[in-house]
Amino acid sequence: MTIRITYRTPKIGEHEEGEGKFQQQNFQELTMASDWIVMHIPETERSLIKMWIDDVPITGATLESTLRPLSSTLVDDQ
């Protein structure tokens, strides 16, 4: 499975040259993509994310559910 996302580079951090430009990332697993999005893309920018799984566009409720943190990322170490 190949997951590809496009996103707008957040206007935060030290790398000013890429701010606001669209970038692309590729992942092998959906959990990796979801975790990366949650960690690197501010919630206010997530509506601009586009996703494809094996070149099939993912939209609507399916995309929205993918952009939420997965339960595996919410488990506390106890």
d(C-alpha 21, C-alpha 17), whole Å: 9
Q: Where are the domains of the chain?
A: 3-54
Average pLDDT score over the chain: 79
Residues in the chain: 78
Rounded to two decimals, what is the model's pTM? Answer: 0.71
**Looking at the predicted structure, is the pLDDT value of residue 40 above 90?**
no
Which has the minimum average pLDDT: 3-7, 13-17, 30-34? Answer: 13-17
Residue 51, strand partner residues? 5, 58
d(C-alpha 28, C-alpha 30), whole Å: 7
**Looking at the predicted structure, is the pLDDT value of residue 37 above 70?**
yes
Contact (Cβ atoms closer than 8 angstroms) between residue 60 and residue 28: no
Give the CA-trace dihedral at 36, 42, 48, 49, to 10 degrees. Answer: 10
C-alpha to C-alpha distances, 57 to 2, 49, 51, 68, nearest whole angstrom: 12, 11, 6, 18
